[in-house]
Amino acid sequence: MKHEDKNAEGNVSTVMQFVLLGFSDLPNLQGFLFGVFSMVYIIILVGNSLIIIITRLDPALQVPMYFFLANFSSLEICYVSVTLPKLLVNLWTQNRSISMLNCATQMCFLLILGASECFLLAVMAYDRYMAICNPLHYPLVMNHKMCIQLAVGSWVSGIPVQIGQTCQIFSLHFCDSNKINHFFCDIPPILRLACGDTSVHEIPVYLVAVLFVAVPFMLILASYSKIISTILRLPTAQGQAKAFSTCSSHLLIVVLLFGSGTITYLRPKANHSSGSDKLLSLFYTIVTPMFNPMIYSLRNKDVIAALRKLLLRK
């Protein structure tokens, strides 16, 4: 471990390099895991890229719902590309070291993109609310300019706060160990390496999590309470089923992403364990991006039709 000794009580050091332990506790499965995660990465890239392509090329999908879906797929590609390539390199080379700067950069991009995903899911819920609850005003309110503003706002909303949070976390001193028992640089395992009592530094983490996780989730709940109320008042069962089908895919992604993210960042520190942190992280960093295109394509007739036209054209 590279470090500089500080003049504190003699046992405090400034860590310059970390080691991502990842799945090193499974030495006989390193090759198998490399193959699995390689296939998952390819599925994520291909699946989400197809969503982006068909929503751009098919005239029937030139509507706000699919514009936001293309943005969400782009976010998923960026999000997973921050963690999976490094994990694959670690599994292939068995060199698990990562510099403090690279670790901080990885965490910062993850936090920014994670915040963007949460706000974009809230925007998508608002879009469904306007389409179902206010259909006459929908074309006027959700015009092209508004869609661009909402998408850009979702992409950039977390940048200043998450940069500040990353700087605050990496300004801590780290004692004795530089081994991160995780497969990427996440907040809980980094805080476990910090010297002394970190409760003061955990308060901003909870506040930011409330801002970027709880607030969008409450907005989504508010939107869907109105949506469900409106759907139940529709006169025909066929109309109700069609309205529900436009929302079910989005709701499933919300449950997967917000469920795992909320448990990871808002539960008490005493309930954290390395095994559970890694398992939950797999859901919001890998599982959700992988299932996103499947959920939207298999449950959406418009996407299936556009995909069929694209494949037949090729």
Residue 101 is predicted with a pLDDT of: 92
What's the average model confidence in pLDDT over 81-101?
92
What's the average model confidence in pLDDT over 270-279?
63
Highest mean pLDDT among 43-52, 168-177, 271-280: 43-52
φ, ψ dihedrals at 132, nearest 5°: -95, -40
CATH superfamily of 13-313: Rhodopsin 7-helix transmembrane proteins (1.20.1070.10)
Q: Looking at residue 180, what DSSP letter applies? A: E
Q: Minimal CA–CA distance to 190: which of 172, 207, 204?
A: 172
What's the average model confidence in pLDDT over 212-218?
89
197 pLDDT band (50/70/90 cuts)? confident
User: Beta-carbon neighbour count of residue 6 at 10 Å?
Assistant: 13
Residue 286 is predicted with a pLDDT of: 87
Q: Ramachandran region of residue 154, left (φ > 0), alpha (ψ -120 to 50) or beta?
A: alpha
Q: Using the predicted structure, report yes or no on whether residue 256 has a pLDDT greater than 90.
A: no
Rounded Cα–Cα distance for residues 139 and 142 (Å): 5
Q: Using the predicted structure, report yes or no on whether residue 37 has a pLDDT greater than 70.
A: yes
Q: Using the predicted structure, report yes or no on whether residue 233 has a pLDDT greater than 80.
A: yes
Q: Using the predicted structure, report yes or no on whether residue 155 has a pLDDT greater than 80.
A: yes
154 pLDDT band (50/70/90 cuts)? very high
pLDDT digits (tens, 9 = 90+) for 235-244: 777 767 776 7
Alpha-carbon distance values, 127 to 57, 135, 149, 200, 293 (Å):
21, 10, 13, 38, 19
7 pLDDT band (50/70/90 cuts)? very low
Residue 283 is predicted with a pLDDT of: 76
Rounded Cα–Cα distance for residues 51 and 111 (Å): 24
Q: Minimal CA–CA distance to 278: which of 92, 91, 87?
A: 87
User: CB–CB of 84/41 below 8 Å?
Assistant: yes
Structure tokens that stand for 152 in this block: 């850009």
Q: For all residues of the chain together, what is the average pLDDT?
A: 84
**Signed CA dihedral, 33, 36, 42, 48: sign only:** negative
pLDDT digits (tens, 9 = 90+) for 165-188: 999 999 888 876 788 888 999 888
Q: Which residue type is seen at 56?
A: R
264 pLDDT band (50/70/90 cuts)? low
Residue 102 is predicted with a pLDDT of: 93
Q: How many CA atoms lie within 13 A of 165 on its CB side?
A: 27
Q: Using the predicted structure, report yes or no on whether residue 5 has a pLDDT greater than 60.
A: no
């795992």: which residue's tokens?
260
Q: Which residue type is seen at 257?
A: L
Which run of H or of E encompasses 88?
helix 64-93
Q: Are strands 17-20 and 97-99 parallel, antiparallel or unpaired?
A: antiparallel
Farthest CA pair distance, the chain: 75
Beta bridge partners of residue 180, listed in sequence order: 20
